[in-house]
């Protein structure tokens, strides 16, 4: 792998990524224990994971997992079934 594609462990860039992964792990942990019918709670947490509002009519059946979240792009009427893992 070319050295310009490497991320140094002690770099600010790596630290920011590691903090984001921890934050998203906290958010998905909370998402995955909500009552199934808590649509408002799921929406609020998922918007924090994505860093933007959910498109209309998105359906999410937790548990859901992602490592970062900010690079996910969902369209209108997306259905995410149980136990999905998105790596972005």
* Eight-state DSSP code of residue 46: H
Tell me the residue length of the chain: 88
Report yes or no on 1 lying in a domain.
no
Report yes or no on 65 lying in a domain.
yes
* Eight-state DSSP code of residue 54: P
pTM of the model: 0.84
Section 4-29 average pLDDT? 88
Q: Residue holding tokens 């970062």? A: 68
pLDDT exceeds 70 at position 4: no
Section 11-16 average pLDDT? 89
Report yes or no on 23 lying in a domain.
yes
Do residues 13 and 7 make contact, with C-beta atoms less than 8 angstroms apart?
yes
Report yes or no on 17 lying in a domain.
yes
- Residue numbers of the domain that contains 71: 10-86
For 31-85, write each residue's pLDDT tens digit.
999 999 999 999 999 999 999 999 989 999 999 999 999 999 999 999 999 999 9
């Amino acid at each position: 792998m070319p050295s310009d594609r490497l991320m140094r462990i002690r770099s600010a860039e790596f630290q920011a990524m590691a903090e984001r992964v921890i934050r998203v792990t906290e958010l998905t942990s909370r998402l995955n224990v909500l009552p199934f019918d808590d649509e408002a709670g799921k929406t609020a947490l998922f918007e924090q994971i994505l860093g933007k509002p959910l498109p209309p009519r998105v359906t999410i059946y937790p548990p859901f997992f992602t490592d970062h979240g900010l690079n996910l792009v969902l369209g209108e009427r997306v259905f995410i079934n149980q136990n999905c893992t998105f790596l972005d």
